[in-house]
Structure formats: structure tokens, C-alpha cells
Amino acid sequence: MTENLSNEIIKALDCVCTLHEQAVCNHDKCREFSEQLSELLDRLEDLGYFRTADRVMSVLMNCSPKEASHCEKATLVGEMMKNIKKEAQKAAGK
């Protein structure tokens, strides 16, 4: 069962997903995505959204920004983020 996340967290997920789409071929955006996702993970844990936090942690485990190299797991990470966002929106009735 999906957690019923606050609208603020759903907006943050949406922003991070959008950032990941921009980050696929941009190292600076990639690093920014990783940092923002880490901050979101901290917020999720602080708010007690542990199931979603676990899923975000799984994304972070697959995300490793590299300079001068295309991300090998960009598609996987993007799909994981889209699934998290989709389930959060569904649970919120959006």
C-alpha cells in the first residue's frame, strides 16, 4: 500500500523528476538531482514516510553522477522516479 504523502512532498517529487529529465546529459544537473533527492530522503524520514523513503534510497543507490560520462542507469533511475511519483499522486487522489 502506498503512503498518503502531503502535497508538499508530492510537489518535491515532481520537481526532482523534472530535474532528472534535465540531468540525463548534464553533469551539473545530475549532481543537483542527487543532492535534492538526498534532501528529500531526509525529509521523508523525518516525516515518517518510511516506505517512500526506502524507495528513494533505492533510487539513490542506482544514481552515481560521473563527469564526462553518460549515465549508464539514467533510464532505470528515471523510471523508478516516475513510478514513485505516479503512486504518490494516485494515493493522493490526483
Give the separation between CA 23 and CA 10, rounded to whole angstroms: 20
- Selection from 78, 71, 9 nearest residue 39 by Cα: 9
pTM of the predicted structure, to 2 decimals: 0.84
Task: Evaluate whether 10 touches 94 at the Cβ level (below 8 Å).
Answer: yes
Cell 560521473 found at: 66
pLDDT digits (tens, 9 = 90+) for 3-39: 889 999 999 999 999 999 888 778 788 889 999 999 9
Percent helix, percent strand, percent coil in the chain, to nearest 5: 75, 0, 25
pLDDT digits (tens, 9 = 90+) for 36-68: 999 999 999 999 999 999 999 999 998 876 665
